[in-house]
């Protein structure tokens, strides 16, 4: 695989070719996922749940994410490395810039943040300084306590309209990528068609430009209730790299997500 950059993702969007994304938190798994052809790796704050055992992403610190970013950056090969800003990095523009700077110095190539239209100002300041941004909309796990649980977002027309508008505003502010989590497939499609930038989905239906899953879900090592959009690719694979390859191929051929993974 050739080195994946933002331009690669834009070209995928123009060509109508889906791309695969997967979380990775250390050198070995980042290497294995890169070798399997996964185009984007995410050092997600989901590490608070799958690595640290918390029941939300809120306890994860900037230092935790920087540590895992340095690890993943050493292992990955051609994949693009996206990294999450932690909970409360957005308390001020200054903090946002400092935290994003720390992630970039640790090896991030694209910084992801959660937030609605009000994050436009922060996104403008980041992109102005050369930090490309992915804006995460829909179900935003850092606001789980305000949302009242991990629930599908944008089910009614008014909510759906707001998500489309927020995405437009954030792209106008400079966001290079949008990530949509847990929304009806129809909304995933509408946002993808409305925007010129690549849209990555998780539980957002089959029509987004990219798909992402948490590595532990792909390998079937998540305990407790797994969400509807998850698929264990280990059941038919002989190795971890094989499972990653099957996930990648399923995304590229649009075999994943199937209707049973969608809302």
Query: Which residues of the shown chain bind ligand KIV in the complex (CB under 6 A)?
Result: 23, 42, 44-46, 84, 179, 181, 202, 212, 214
Q: Which does 202 bind (CB under 5 to 8 A by kind): Na ion, ligand KIV, none?
A: ligand KIV
Nearer to Na ion (CB atom), residue 90 or residue 245: 90
CB of 210 to ligand KIV, least distance (A): 11
Nearer to ligand KIV (CB atom), residue 157 or residue 216: 216
Give the closest residue to 42 by CA, choosing from 174, 134, 166: 134
CB of 253 to ligand KIV, least distance (A): 22
Give the closest residue to 115 by CA, choosing from 142, 92, 96: 142
Buried b (16+ CB within 10 A) or exposed e, 1-29: eeebebebbbebbeeeebbbbbbbbbbeb
Contact 100/86 with Cβ under 8 angstroms? no
Residue from 26, 64, 84, 181 that binds Na ion (CB under 5 A)? 84
Options 39, 109, 114, 181, the catalytic residue = 181
Q: Which of positions 27-56 make contact with Na ion (CB under 5 A)?
A: 44-45
Active site (annotated) includes residue 260: no
Which string of DSSP letters, residue by residue, matches 20-85? EEEE--SHHHHHHHHHTT-SEEEE-TTHHHHTT--SSSTT--HHHHHHHHHHHHHH--SSEEEEEP
CB-closest chain residue to ligand KIV: 44
Nearer to ligand KIV (CB atom), residue 181 or residue 207: 181
Nearer to ligand KIV (CB atom), residue 157 or residue 203: 203
CB of 238 to Na ion, least distance (A): 30
CB of 188 to ligand KIV, least distance (A): 13
Strand partners, 230: none
Between CA 149 and CA 256 the distance in angstroms is 25
**CB-CB neighbours of 228 under 10 Å:** 13
- Residues designated as active site: 181
- Interface contacts to Na ion, rule CB under 5 A: 44-45, 84
């Amino acid at each position: 695989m050739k080195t994946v950059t933002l331009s690669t993702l834009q070209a995928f969007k123009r060509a109508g070719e889906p791309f695969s994304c997967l979380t990775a938190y250390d050198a070995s798994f980042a290497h294995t996922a890169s070798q399997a052809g996964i185009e984007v790796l995410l050092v997600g704050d989901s590490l608070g749940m799958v690595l640290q055992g918390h029941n939300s992403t809120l306890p994860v610190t900037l230092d935790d994410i920087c540590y895992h970013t340095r690890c993943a950056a050493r292992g990955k090969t051609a994949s693009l490395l996206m990294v999450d800003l932690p909970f409360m990095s957005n308390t001020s523009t200054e903090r946002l810039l400092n935290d994003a700077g720390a992630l970039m110095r640790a090896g991030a190539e694209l910084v992801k943040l959660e937030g609605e239209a009000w994050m436009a100002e922060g996104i403008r300041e980041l992109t102005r300084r050369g930090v490309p941004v992915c804006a995460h909309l829909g179900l935003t796990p850092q606001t789980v306590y305000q949302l009242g649980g991990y629930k599908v977002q944008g089910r009614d027309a008014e909510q759906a309209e707001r998500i489309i508008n927020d995405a437009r505003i954030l792209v106008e502010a400079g966001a290079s990528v949008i990530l949509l989590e847990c929304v009806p497939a129809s909304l995933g499609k509408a946002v993808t068609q409305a925007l010129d930038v690549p849209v990555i989905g998780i539980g957002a239906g089959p029509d987004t430009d990219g798909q992402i899953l948490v590595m532990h879900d792909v390998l079937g090592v998540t305990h407790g209730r797994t969400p509807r959009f998850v698929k264990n690719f280990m059941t038919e694979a002989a190795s971890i790299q094989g499972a990653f390859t099957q996930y990648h191929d399923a995304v590229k051929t649009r075999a994943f997500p199937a209707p049973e993974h969608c809302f």
